[in-house]
Amino acid sequence: MHMTDGPLRFGVLDIGSNSAHLRVADLHPDRPPRPVRSVKNAVRLAEATDRHGVIGRPAVERLIAAVRESVAAAAALDVAELVPYATSALRDAANRDDVAAEVRAATGVELGFLTGEREARLTFLAARRWYGWSAGPMLLADIGGGSMELAYGAGREPEIALSLQLGAGRLTRHHLPPRPPVRKRTYKALRAHVRSVLGEAAIGIAARPAPVRAVATSKTFTQLARLCGAPKAKAGPYRERHLDRRDLHRWIPELAKLPDAERARLRGVKASRAHQILAGAIVAEGVMDVLGLDRLDICPWALREGIFLHRQGDPADGPFGLRRGGQVGGRTDRHRGEHVMALADAREIEELLGDLAFPADKDRIVEHAHERRPEGEAEHALLSLPLGTYDSVAEVVRSVPLDPDPGRTPTGRDHQRRHHEKPGLGEHQRHAERSPVEDGLDRGDEV
């Protein structure tokens, strides 16, 4: 669907550390995304992940139930396109392939995986759009459950985009005791670890001109800002909110003393995040200390809004957008409310891209296919390509879901989709009966 035909009802299903969050918005080419509905279900993947990185069975079942409910809600809202993706908590899990396969088998939804760098770039886009050019050179920080992202740039897209294994949930599992209080030497050791990682990783940012505006997004930063005195959420998104380093520094020893139940009674701290709020505070403090920042502005737009803006086709989009529907691993059929996978004929792909100059990124590949054969099966399959640069037609063919029987009629393909039969894979994949998600993960693909 093209937005020139009217608003596009678009949904993103964000599988995070704590929740599966469906956000639906109407997209207009010349207006900000208009929120329609938000549906959030607790999955608590981070807290259900053991020290070996394995997500426990109860959390997998919660995830499957949450995806089912989200897809049903999207169908009821007549969502034209749905992008389901998972971030660090599932992406980095030791059993991620098995979990993704279970979700697909139970719901028909093929989850995509955003790399940390892609998260940073999309979130930077959202913050840039929120603050505009007046923000000048801008620094972005985002603390998730499994990772934290940093981005810096003076333009529409960041010059530097980083993802570090400094998520609040991850650090809590690996560096802090299962139950508070936390001894001073323990949280000081975590503080030293965080600063060491940041100091090495952020050398490029530190060498750039100081940002005119330093921005933070995510629930962790928002709750820390509220804890330190920022206005409540009900004051609205346009109310300015800040996180000051000195205020945060004073809170860290207090958070270390308090059990989770007491933390959850503090201003702004949610019970679901109380266990990891200390680690989040230490990371936030570390970012400000290492980069010499006294204050961070809290931005109400974040990753999901960045995805909206890419699909919207805004001129402020960078070259890393989710083009033509931004499907992650497939596309949603609005008439049946199913998430379906477009399957490609390798010969058709080779024919379509035979005269394309490589290397080429996903945007250029899809654009070229559209110019040659608009809205064909091959183009829809190419929408499933992970974002990135491809060196040859052969690499593209290896990266899309292939139809094992390209001679089938459209009715035959539709039958396979309705019954969730396993889509065909490339020859190098087929012997192990691996899903496209698994194969993409092993290649280190990004979406």
Residues 80-92 pLDDT 10s: 999 999 998 899 8
Domain boundary among 268, 301, 334: 301
Picking from 245, 242, 241, the residue whose alpha carbon sits closest to that of residue 291 is: 245
pLDDT-derived band at 382 (thresholds 50, 70, 90) equals: confident
Interval 287-302 mean pLDDT: 97
pLDDT-derived band at 27 (thresholds 50, 70, 90) equals: very high
Do 273 and 128 share a structural domain? yes
Q: Helix, strand or coil for residue 223? A: helix
156 Cβ neighbours under 8 A, 6+ residues apart: 125, 128, 316, 317, 318
H or E stretch including 40? strand 34-42
CA distance 126 to 353: 32
Interval 366-380 mean pLDDT: 76
Tokens in use for 5? 């035909």
Judge whether residue 241 has pLDDT over 50.
yes
Do 259 and 177 share a structural domain? yes
Judge whether residue 346 has pLDDT over 90.
no
Do 430 and 414 share a structural domain? yes
Judge whether residue 411 has pLDDT over 80.
no
CA distance 86 to 240: 30
H or E stretch including 63? helix 57-76
CA distance 350 to 363: 17
pLDDT-derived band at 388 (thresholds 50, 70, 90) equals: low
Judge whether residue 415 has pLDDT over 70.
no
Amino acid 1 reads: M
Q: Are 124 and 67 in contact (CB under 8 A)?
A: no
Picking from 190, 177, 144, 189, the residue whose alpha carbon sits closest to that of residue 275 is: 177
Do 389 and 406 share a structural domain? yes
Tell me: the pLDDT tens digits for 192-222? 999 999 999 999 999 999 999 999 999 999 9
CA distance 360 to 383: 14
Do 360 and 253 share a structural domain? no
Q: How confident is the model at residue 412, as a pLDDT?
A: 47
pLDDT: is 24 or 237 the higher one? 24
Domain boundary among 301, 333, 356: 301
H or E stretch including 125? helix 116-131
pTM for the model stands at 0.70
H or E stretch including 10? strand 8-15
Do 261 and 134 share a structural domain? yes
pLDDT-derived band at 402 (thresholds 50, 70, 90) equals: low
CA distance 232 to 168: 22
Q: Are 45 and 66 in contact (CB under 8 A)?
A: no
Q: Helix, strand or coil for residue 184? A: helix
Judge whether residue 376 has pLDDT over 80.
no
Residue 196 CB: number of other CB atoms within 10 A?
12
Tell me: the pLDDT tens digits for 126-176? 999 999 988 899 999 999 988 999 999 999 889 999 999 999 988 998 899
| Tally of structural domains, the chain | 2
First to last CA, the chain: 21
Least confident of 103-117, 127-141, 291-305, 324-338: 324-338
Q: How confident is the model at residue 338, as a pLDDT?
A: 36
Q: Helix, strand or coil for residue 55? A: strand
Do 294 and 328 share a structural domain? no
Q: How confident is the model at residue 334, as a pLDDT?
A: 40
H or E stretch including 76? helix 57-76
| Residue that has been written with the tokens 């919660």 in this structure | 62
Do 188 and 58 share a structural domain? no
Q: Cα 405 from chain centroid? A: 33
Domain boundary among 253, 271, 301: 301
Picking from 429, 376, 438, 375, the residue whose alpha carbon sits closest to that of residue 404 is: 429
Q: Distances from the Cα of 103 to the Cαs of 99, 111, 221, 252, in angstroms?
A: 6, 8, 30, 38
Do 323 and 211 share a structural domain? no
Do 106 and 60 share a structural domain? yes
The CATH number of residue 85's host domain is 3.30.420.40
The CATH number of residue 228's host domain is 3.30.420.150
- Domain span at residue 15? 3-115+306-443
Do 160 and 220 share a structural domain? yes
Do 433 and 286 share a structural domain? no
Q: Are 309 and 123 in contact (CB under 8 A)?
A: no
H or E stretch including 438? helix 436-443
Judge whether residue 42 has pLDDT over 90.
yes
The chain-wide mean pLDDT, for the chain, equals: 82
Q: How confident is the model at residue 386, as a pLDDT?
A: 60
Interval 247-273 mean pLDDT: 96
Most confident of 111-115, 329-333, 365-369, 439-443: 111-115
Q: How confident is the model at residue 400, as a pLDDT?
A: 63
Judge whether residue 377 has pLDDT over 80.
no
Q: Are 332 and 10 in contact (CB under 8 A)?
A: no
Judge whether residue 375 has pLDDT over 70.
no
Q: How confident is the model at residue 428, as a pLDDT?
A: 30
